Chain A
Amino acid sequence: MLRMTGITKNFPGVRALDGVDFRLLPGEVHALMGENGAGKSTLIKVLTGVHTADSGSVRLDGAPVVIGSPKQAQAAGISTVYQEVNLCSNLTVAENVFIGREPYRFGRIQWKEARRRAAELLERFQLDIDPGAPLGSYSLAVRQLVAIVRAVDISAKVLVLDEPTSSLDRDEVERLFRLMRRLRDDGVAVLFVSHFLDQVFEISDRMTVLRNGRLVGEYETRALSRVELVGHMTGRVLRTLEELHAPREDVRDAIASREPVLAARGLGRKGGVAPFDLDVHPGEVVGFAGLLGSGRTEAARLLFGADGADSGTLEIGGAAAVLRTPGAAIGRGIAFCPEDRKSEGLVEDLTVGENIVLALQAARGWLRPLSASRRAELVGKYIKALNIRPGDPEMPARNLSGGNQQKVLLARWLITQPRLLILDEPTRGVDVGAKAEIQKLVVSLAGDGMGVVFISAELEEVLRISHKIEVLRDREVIAEIANEADATPERLLEIIANGVAR
C-alpha cells in the first residue's frame, strides 16, 4: 500500500535517516522499532509531510506521491498522532477533534453538530469526557486519547501512531488495541511506535527496525523473539534482559526505621486529591500506582508545592514546611520531574546544556552563575551518565528525540542532588535499554540515601523498584502496601478495582 525507498534526511550535524526503505501493507499493524533517536519519529514526519526528505521517494498504492505538508498527507489518506500531543489546550475537546475539518452548513461552522458528533465518537470509545470542556482541563493521557480519537475519525487508509500508549494504562491500551484491530480488519494499514515490547508483540503483525537512522530489517512478529528484537535494535547481543529484584524485607525494615525525609499528614486539595498520609524515608522508593486520572500526579504536585495544598501538614527533614511555590520545595531539597515534558519540563528553545543546569542555576539565583568550566563538567558528566544522544550540549533541546529529552529532564534534577526525588512517569517514551538504566539509577540513588517517589502507569515497573506502594483510585489514596512476594500487577489491579481491607 505504502512504500518508501531510500529515504535520507539530514539535520544540521545529524543524519537522522540514511537510505531507509520501508513498506506498509494494507490490513496490517506494523511496528516501527528502534532505540531513542533511531529515527522513528523522523521517518513518520517525512511520511506525513512535516519534514521533506533530502532524497528518496514515496509511493502510495503504487503511484509516486509527493507529500509536502501535513494537509496533503491527510488528503492522501494518512492520518497521524504525533509523539508529542499537539492539540490546542485552550479549545474544547470537540473543537480539537474537528479542527481543520469542521462541519459546515451555509458557509458557517456547525458547532452544535460538531459537539454532537464528538460526543458520539467519545461514546464509541467509551470515554467519559465532556466534549464541551476545554482540553487543557484534562490530563496528558486524556489529551492523548483525544488526539487518537481525532486521528481515527479521519477515516484514513494509513493510520500512524507515534507512541500513542506512552501515558495510557492497561484498559485504555486494550481499548486502543481493539480499535486498531478493527481498523486493520477493515483494511487500514496501521503504523505503530512503542517502547513497550509486550504491546508490540501483542498487536503487531510485522515490524521494521531502525538503528542510528539505518534500516536493520523487516521482520514477521511471529518469527521473532524478544531477545532477537532487542539485539536488532541495539546492535548488541544481550544474553538476558537484566532484571532488578524487588527489595528484600530486612532492607525495607531498616529503611522504615529511619527519620522520614518527608512526612505528609492529611495533605489534600479540593478537586485534586483527597487528604492522604505519606512517609518517605531516606533510601526508600515509594511507588504510586493507580489508573489514569486516579490522582497520582496531583498527589505528587502537592508534595512539591506545584499546586498549593488546602488541607494537611507537611514535614520535610523533620521540620514543618508550607510549600507555596516550587522554589520553596527545591530549597528544601525536593525535586520533581513532571510527566508532560513538552509543556511543563523542557524549554525547547534552550540548548541541552542550558536545560540541564536550569534547576541548579535557578536555585543559585541569577547573581551566582555557574562558571563555564563547572557547567561543562556537570553537563558532560550527566550526558555521559544517562547516555544522552547526540551528546552535544549546544544542541537545541527541541531537536532531541523524545526519549533523550526525557533523559535531559532527569539530568536536570539529578544535578541538584536532592534529598527527595519525585519522578512522574520518568521512563515514558524511553527505550528498553535506557529504561532499565533509569530503573537501575533510581535504585542506586536510593541506595545512596535519596528518597524517591516513583510514578508510572506501568505496574511491573513500579513493583520492580519500589519498597512500598501507594495505591490510588478516584483521587484518593486507598491503600499502602509493602512490596512483598505477593505483590503482583494482578493484585494491584485487584486492589484498585475492589479496594482492600488493611
Chain B
Amino acid sequence: MRELTRHRLFWPAAILVVMLLANLIFTPTFFRIELKNGHLYGSLIDILLYGAPLILIALGMTMVIATGGIDLSVGATVAISGALACSIIAEQADQEAVGGVLTAVGLALGLSLVLGFWNGLLVARTGIQPIIATLILMVAGRGVAQLITDGQIITINSDPYELIGGGYLFGFPFAVLVVVVVFAATAVLIRRTALGLLLEAVGGNAEASRLVGIRARRLLVLAYVFCAFCAGIAGLMISSNIRAADGNNAGLWIELDAILAVVIGGTSLMGGRFSLAGTVLGALIIQTLSTTIYTTGVPPQITLVFKAVVVTVVCLIQSPAFRAKAFHRSRPSTPAPSEAEVPA
C-alpha cells in the first residue's frame, strides 16, 4: 500500500477517479457508454473528445517544461493553425475535396512548426527567458491569426475537415485516436531513444549538461517545435469541431490549462524529471472538472471560483510538503515550500 501511494502517478490517478465518482452522484448514467450507429457515445467519451486538444498541448508543454522552459504561445498557435486551415479550405471551390483539405492541414501544421522553430531559436540562441520569448508570439500570434482571417470568423462546410475534430473512425472519435497515436509516438520517441534522458539532464542542470557535451540548443529547439506541432494539431481539432476559425477566441487561455495539467501530472516547473502519463492524467482532471461544472449546473457566475477552488485543492494534495503537514505529525513553523500553483 505504501509502495502504491508513493508511485508518482498515484495522486493524479486517485484525484481523477474521485472526480469521476463524484459525477456519478449527480449523473447516475455518467459511466454509461452506448453504441449508436456504430459510434461510441457517453460522458466519458465526451471528456476524452473535448479533452483531446488540451491533452495534446499539455504533452507538448511537458517537453518544454522538462527543459526548464515554458511556452505561453500555444494558444496563439492554436488560433493561427485553425485560421490558416479554414481560410485555405474556404477559398476552395469544392470544400469537400480531400486533396484540398490535406493541403490545408499540411500547410497549417507546417506553419506551426515554423512558429515553434522561432520560439526555439529565441530561447536557445539569444538566451531570452522562455516566458518572455514565448510571450512575444502569444501576443503577436493573435494578430497574425486576425490577419489570416481578415478579422472575420471564417466558417466552413467540409466533411473531410470535420472528421478531425468531430468525426468518428472505427467507432471512436477521430480526435481521440489522434491523441492516442501522438501519445504513443511521443512515448516511444522519448523512452526508446535517449531524448528523454538528455532533456531531463538539460532541465535538471543546464551547466552540468553543457559540460558533459550535450548539445542543449538543439534539444531546446526540438522541444519548442514539438510543442508548437501539438498546438497546431489541437488548433485543427478545435476549428474542425466548431467548423469555424475564430482568431480571437480559439485556444484562448489554453496555455494556462496546459501548464496546470503538466504540474498536476507531477512535472516540476523547475524542469528535469517529467511524466507523459502524468500529464495526460492532469489534462483529464482539468477536462473532467470542466465537464462536471457544465453537467452539474454550477451557476455560471461562480464557475470560475469553483474551478479555482478545486484546482487549488488538487495542487495541495499533489504537494508532498502539504501532505506531510496535513496527514502526518505537524512540524510547526516550518516554512513549507508550497508547490501549489495559482490557478488561472
The residues of A with any CB-CB pair to B shorter than 8 Å are 12, 52, 68-69, 71-72, 304, 306, 325-327, 329-331, 336, 338, 343-350, 354, 357-359, 361-370, 412
Q: A326 to B334, Cβ gap below 8 A?
A: no
Residues of the B chain whose Cβ atoms lie less than 8 Å from the Cβ of A12:
6
B330 to chain A, nearest CB (A): 9
Contacts of A329 in B (CB 8 A): 213
In the complex, the answer to whether A358 meets B212 with C-beta atoms within 8 Å is yes
> Are the C-beta atoms of B272 and A347 separated by less than 8 Å?
yes
Query: With A and B bound together, what is the CA distance between A473 and B200 in angstroms?
Result: 39
- Shortest Cβ distance from B6 into A: residue: A12
Point out the residue from A52, A327, A370 that lies within 8 Å of B215, measured CB to CB: A327
- Taking CB atoms and an 8 Å cut-off, the chain B residues in 44-77 that contact chain A are none
Contacts of B272 in A (CB 8 A): 347, 349-350
User: Would you mind naming 25 contact pairs between A and B with Cβ atoms under 8 Å apart?
Assistant: A325-B210, A326-B213, A327-B213, A329-B213, A343-B207, A344-B211, A347-B201, A347-B205, A347-B209, A347-B272, A348-B204, A349-B204, A350-B272, A350-B273, A354-B197, A354-B200, A358-B201, A361-B197, A361-B198, A362-B213, A362-B214, A362-B215, A364-B194, A366-B194, A368-B194
- Complexed CA–CA distance, A338 and B204 (Å): 17
- Whether A343 contacts B213 by the Cβ 8 Å rule is no
B102 to chain A, nearest CB (A): 29
Contact residues in B for A343 (Cβ distance below 8 Å): 205, 207-208
Residues of chain B from 204 to 232 with CB closer than 8 A to chain A in the complex:
204-205, 207-215, 219
Q: Which 5 A-B pairs have the closest CB atoms?
A: A349-B272, A327-B213, A349-B204, A330-B213, A369-B194
In this complex, what residue of B is CB-closest to A52? B331
Q: Say whether B200 contacts A350, CB under 8 Å.
A: yes
Give, as a whole number of angstroms, the nearest-CB distance from A501 to chain B: 38
B331 touching A345, Cβ below 8 Å: no
Contact partners of A304 in chain B: CB under 8 A: 211
Q: Is B126 an interface residue (CB 8 A)?
A: no
Task: Evaluate contact between A68 and B214: CB separation under 8 angstroms.
Answer: no
Contacts of B197 in A (CB 8 A): 350, 354, 357-358, 361, 369
A362-B208 in contact given A349-B200, A349-B273 (Cβ < 8 Å): no
| Contact B198 A68, beta carbon cutoff 8 Å | no
Q: How far is the CA of A347 from the CA of B335 in the complex (A)?
A: 26
CB distance from B62 to the nearest CB of A (A): 15
Can you name the residue of chain A whose Cβ is closest to the Cβ of B201?
A347
B211 A72 Cβ-Cβ under 8 A: no
* Set B192, B198, B200, B331: member contacting A362, Cβ < 8 A: B198
B192, B210, B212: most-surrounded residue (chain A CB, <10 A)? B212
Report Cα–Cα, A367/B213, bound state, in Å: 15
Contacts of B37 in A (CB 8 A): none
Query: Is A71's CB under 8 angstroms from B194's CB?
Result: no
Known: A338-B211, A349-B272, A349-B273. A68 touches B331 (CB 8 A): yes
Evaluate contact between B334 and A345: CB separation under 8 angstroms: no
Number of interchain pairs (Cβ within 8 Å): 101
**Does the CB pair A350–B201 fall under 8 Å?**
yes
Please judge, given known A-B contacts A343-B205, A347-B205, A369-B192, whether A336 and B331 are in contact too, CB under 8 Å: no
Asked if B301 lies at the interface with its beta carbon under 8 angstroms from chain A, I say no
**Distance of B189 from chain A, by nearest CB (Å):** 9
In this complex, what residue of B is CB-closest to A396?
B273
Q: Contact: A344 with B334, CB < 8 Å?
A: no
Shortest Cβ distance from residue B210 to the other chain A in the assembled complex, whole angstroms: 6
Known: A69-B333, A347-B205. A326 touches B210 (CB 8 A): yes
CA of A52 to CA of B325, assembled, Å: 13
Kindly supply a per-residue 1/0 record for chain B positions 132-171, scoring 1 wherever the CB is within 8 Å of any chain A CB and 0 otherwise. Answer: 0000000000000000000000000000000000000000
Tell me, in angstroms, the Cα distance from A357 to B334 when the chains sit together: 37
Most buried by B among A327, A331, A363, A412: A327
Docked CA distance A354–B199 (Å): 12
Name the residue on B nearest A413 (C-beta): B212
How far is it, in angstroms, between the C-alpha of A366 and the C-alpha of B195 when the chains are bound?
Answer: 5
User: Which of chain B's residues have a CB closer than 8 A to the CB of A358?
Assistant: 197, 201, 209, 212, 214
Bound complex: CA of A381 vs CA of B66, how far in Å? 30
| Bound complex: CA A302 to CA B33 (Å) | 66
Bound together, the chains give a CA A71 to CA B204 distance in angstroms of: 28
**B127 at interface, CB cutoff 8 A:** no
* Alpha-carbon distance A330/B213, docked complex (angstroms): 7
Identity of the chain A residue whose Cβ is nearest the Cβ of B273 in the assembled complex: A349
CB contacts (< 8 Å) of B211 on chain A: these are: 304, 306, 326, 336, 338, 344-345
B10-22 CB contact bits vs A (8 Å, 1 = yes)? 0000000000000
A358 to B196 alpha-carbon distance, docked (Å): 12
Write out the residue numbers on chain A whose beta carbons fall within 8 Å of the beta carbon of B204.
347-350
